[in-house]
Amino acid sequence: MASYGQRGVKAVEKKDWAAAVPLLDKALEESSSPLWLLARSQANLQLNNYDDALRDAELAYHVAAERGSGDSRKQMIDAQYRRAVTYHRLRQYADSDCCAKWSMLLAEGRPAREDDGVEKKVDADGNYTVTYEDAVADNENQPDYSMKDSFQNPSAPKKAKTGYEAQWKRAYTWRTQVLGALKRLPENDPGRKVHVTKIPPRPQLKKKAEKKPEPQVMELDSEDEKPVAKPSEPALGSVPDEKLKLRVDFYQTNQNVTVTLFVKGTKKEDLNVKFSKKQVQISPIARAAAPYVKPGDREASSTLHLYGEIVPAGSRWTATPQKIELVLQKATPGKWGSWGKEEIGITEAAGQEEAAEASEAPISTQTTAPAATPVAAPAYPTSSRTGPKNWDKLEELEGVEEEQSDVNGFFKKLFKDASPEQQRAMMKSFTESNGTALSTDWNDVKDRKVETVPPEGVEPKKWDS
């Protein structure tokens, strides 16, 4: 029979976060394994338990460093990355970028206790000065020799492999996400301040409080009139609002904002969604943090306060057992700084607008969103078989850790999102090189023939040879 720790890790791999936490709690009572701490950190993050997620990541870093086993450096790299993801959820973007950079440096083989000055890059007001452009350009010490480097500069020295190339790329990618968000913050936003240190203070392993006996209500059995104990139901309002809030992802075009609310157990036929100019009201919601709530309870409803105004009649929704998706038509085309924020319960819409009647009817999931405005992808040297990726398009929550499985679909999307000049460069380089090179830099390829440069150990031959 598998141990609690093994079962907990398996649950995390299956994204069954609620089942993973109690299993890992039990395992960590016996051993403070960095692997189990990192798994529980990820599960707690998905359940919006941010303090617990951060504590587990920081303790995992210390335990891994102390053990000094063969997996210790990888676990320290992962711990810094977990810190980065958690700080991002807390909107502490400067702290998130520092931790992602430390994850990169460890993946490059740099000393764990090196004073690299990452957290000291602040101005006189204490605001973090590293930019999105700095992060995109920060690839000089990428710990592998990429095929793109060999195409552009065959004489370049080969870079040493460390065994942590995937972790380096993951942290590099995350930084473009974080600093893209930081760039949009107001100048005085707390998210621009740095509070972290490279080696975090060592937290204590959180011990579960002793469970007090449940209050019991005595009832009489109708047959023999003996008392029967019946456990009382948890009291409403016993779960803090912050823990009730849903995990949210969004993307936008100039015309629409698509907001995805991740909630298990959604019944589309029972769902009631009302749109107004500045709000969306949704009920009933099956809360993972409070599964006992019933339709009509405050905890079973949410009001989404939107960043900007929408056209209720032009907005729509759909639902599956795993998520609710809202496609909101902007009243004024343009970019929003965020999607908005969630409030537990139902609040009155501003101006007492009537919700659009059409918005309450379920619609088909086969909807087509307007094409996004083309954006140039960051230039990133990679040996990935899927070629350069537009990291700005990746989903926030750790979608950056998973490779695109549909290669043809990925290239179609890459071509679609490219500018006309980039598309010309892609067509010319791919055709002339017989599929061995793909460039988005028109200035680089327009005046030369792109040579066929096959992978090492492969010899190019003509079709009839």
Task: Report the pLDDT averaged over residues 79-96.
Answer: 95
Q: What angle do CA 41, 42, 43 make, to 5 degrees?
A: 95
Nearest by Cα to 97 from 189, 166, 194, 199? 194
Check: pTM over 0.75? Answer yes or no. Answer: no
Q: Note the pLDDT tens digit of each residue in 94-136.
A: 999 999 999 999 999 999 889 999 999 999 988 999 999 998 8
296 vs 41, residue with greater confidence: 41
Q: Note the pLDDT tens digit of each residue in 30-59.
A: 888 999 999 999 999 999 999 999 999 999
99 vs 235, residue with greater confidence: 99
> 3.30.70, 3.40.50, 1.25.40, 3.30.1370: which CATH number matches 4-192?
1.25.40
Give helix 34-46 / helix 72-89 axis angle, nearest 10°: 20
Q: Would you state the pLDDT for residue 460?
A: 66
Q: Note the pLDDT tens digit of each residue in 321-345.
A: 888 999 999 999 999 989 999 998 8
273 vs 161, residue with greater confidence: 273
Q: Would you state the pLDDT for residue 235?
A: 53
**Which residue spans of the chain are classified as CATH 1.25.40?**
4-192
**Which residue spans of the chain are classified as CATH 2.60.40.790?**
254-360
Place of tokens 């019946």: 230
Encode 124-148: b = buried (16+ Cβ within 10 Å), e = exposed. Answer: eeebbebebeebbeebeebbbbbbb
- In the chain, the percentage of residues whose pLDDT exceeds 90 is 39
Q: Would you state the pLDDT for residue 236?
A: 53
Answer whether 293's CB lies under 8 Å from 236's CB.
yes
The whole-angstrom separation of Cα 172 and Cα 135 is: 7
Within 10 Å of residue 330's Cβ, how many Cβ atoms? 22
Q: What fold is seen in the domain 254-360?
A: Immunoglobulin-like (2.60.40)
Place of tokens 């020295």: 157
162 vs 34, residue with greater confidence: 34
Tokens of 400: 């950056």
Tokens of 157: 């020295």
